[in-house]
Each structure stands twice: as structure tokens, then as C-alpha cells.
Amino acid sequence: MPGETHNGMQCNEFETLLFDALDQKLPEGQQERFRAHARVCGKCGPMFAEVEAGQHWLKSLAEVESPANLVNEILAATTGIQSYRLQAPVAAEHRASLGERIREWADSLFAPVWGTVRQPRFAMSFGMAFFSLSVALSVAGVKPTDIKSADLSRSGLRRTYYTTTARVVKYYENIRLVYEIESKVQEIKKVTRPDERKQEKERERNHKNNTSGDPEPRQERNYSRDENQPVLASGPQNPLAVSVITTRRDV
């Protein structure tokens, strides 16, 4: 009964103090009074015993371990990145040799990078970049076999410098020699054929003075044949060749 009094404590006061008593927060004297009421009261005693037993049972339940892959699954579901922190201690238990230790170290170093690289978006971007680069190189005519490792030592750099300089100077000298020879040949030509030059000048002058408006007579030139060499004319309908003798005409 809520109003009943046992050992100087009413049942409603007992109920009020119930939680503090279960949480061990009651002062010593009050705790004694509380226990005494529970022993005597036919309603509060069994009720307290049940509640205390229930609390005891619940406290006996140990915390369970979450599944090992739970964190990875959560991270994969939220960010798309897998965690490697949990995997490291598991691997550490099995390490035996130096090689395995180095491999673990490398794994822990590259695992985050590898996690990013394994994403489809990254793989797609990398594939596109590689494709573009290979197309650009093939268009530019660069072959991977042509690429050699550069000698970056001091003597190597000096040697490369002098070799390149000598090559440029030699190329320049060769070009100059060619041009000089060419100009000499031109001069010799002018000297040896003054009549042709004169005729050419005359032709140019005539062309300038021609104000009749008539088209210039067509000139057929055949630079690979002699003047009296026959020219074979043939058509697809007429397999027979017709020989025509042409003579070069100077206008």
C-alpha cells in the first residue's frame, strides 16, 4: 500500500528512493531504513527483489564485439573508401620474417593510395589520360624504343654539350658551303650563257609591251625528252598507239 509505514518509511517514499538505492547513491542511514522496509513490506519487498534481480541480469550481459568488417563496410557505404587501420594489427600478429615486415610496411604506406586508385572514377580518369598521352605520342612520332636514359653526370653533361655544339657548327658550315657552291654555279652559268640571258630579257620586254589582249600562245613543254623524240599518245578505247612526231617550238 502506498500509504503504509514500515520501519519509519512509507511505501511511496520507498518507491521514490528505489532508484537511488539501486544506483548505490543512498546515504548509509537511509540505505538501512530502505532495506528494513523492503524486508518487512509485503508489496515493496518482492518488487525490489525483482527489480534488483532484473538489473543484475542486465548488468551481466557483456558488451558484444562488432563484426570485423563493419567499419570497412560503413566507410565503403558512406565515402567509398575502405579503412586499413583495422587490418594492420591483424597482419602484425603473423609477421615472422624481415621480408614480410617490409611488405607490411609498404602495404601500410601505399594502402591509402591504393584505396583511392582502386576507385572506378580514378581508374576511368587514369585510363583516359593514358589513352590521350599514347595517342599524342604516336601522332608526334615518338617511339618508346627511341628513348634512352640520359647521362646526368658532370662529365656526361659536358660531353653532351660539346658534341651538340660541334654538330650544330658542322651543320652550319655544311649549309654555308652548299650555298657558296650554288652561288658560284649560278655565276658561272651567267657568264657562260650571256645570249640566253639577253633573249630572256627581250622576251620579258615584249610581254610587257603586248597590249593586244590576246592570250599568250600555249607552249607545250616536255622537259624529259629531246626535241625530235616521238610522243606516244594512247586512249582507253583505242589500244593502238599512235605515233606523233612533235617538234619543240620556240616562240
Among 2, 54, 127, 156, binds another protein (CB under 8 A): 54
Segment contacting another protein (CB under 8 A): 4-12, 24-32, 56-64, 160-168? 56-64
Q: Binders of another protein: how many residues, by CB under 8 A?
A: 31
Least distance from C-beta 23 to another protein, angstroms? 10
Binds another protein by CB under 8 A, chosen from 5, 32, 40, 50: 50
- In the structure grid, which three cell numbers stand for residue 233, read together? 599518245
State the nearest-atom distance from the C-beta of 100 to another protein, in Å.
26
Segment lying near another protein (by CB under 8 A), choices 79-87, 117-125, 181-189, 215-223? 79-87
Asked if 18 touches another protein (CB under 8 A), the answer is yes
**What are the grid coordinates assigned to 196, written together?**
640566253
Q: Pick out residues in 107-146 that bind another protein (CB under 8 A).
A: none
Give min distance, CB of 157 to another protein, in A.
47
Burial of 104: CB neighbours in 10 Å, binned 0-12, 13-18, 19+: middle
Member of 78, 145, 149, 219 binding another protein (CB under 8 A): 78
DSSP state of 245: -
Q: 251 and 217 in contact (C-beta within 8 Å)?
A: yes
Name the 3-class secondary structure at 88. Answer: helix
**What letter represents residue 57's amino acid?**
W
Binders of another protein among residues 57 to 76 (CB under 8 A) are 57-67, 70-71, 73-75
Task: Kindly give, in sequence order, each residue whose CB lies less than 8 Å from that of residue 216, ignoring residues fewer than 6 positions away.
Answer: 207
- Following DSSP, what letter does each residue of 139-167 receive, concatenated? HHT--GGG------SHHHHHHHHHHHHHH
Supply the DSSP string of 11-68, one letter for each residue.
HHHHHHHHHHHHTT-S-HHHHHHHHHHHHH-TTHHHHHHHHHHHHHHHHHSPPPPPPT
CB of 70 to another protein, least distance (A): 6
- Among 3, 8, 29, 79, the residue binding another protein under the rule CB under 8 A is 79
Contact between 47 and another protein by CB under 8 A: the answer reads yes
Q: Provide the binding-site residues for another protein, judged by CB under 8 A.
A: 18-19, 47, 49-55, 57-67, 70-71, 73-75, 77-79, 83, 85
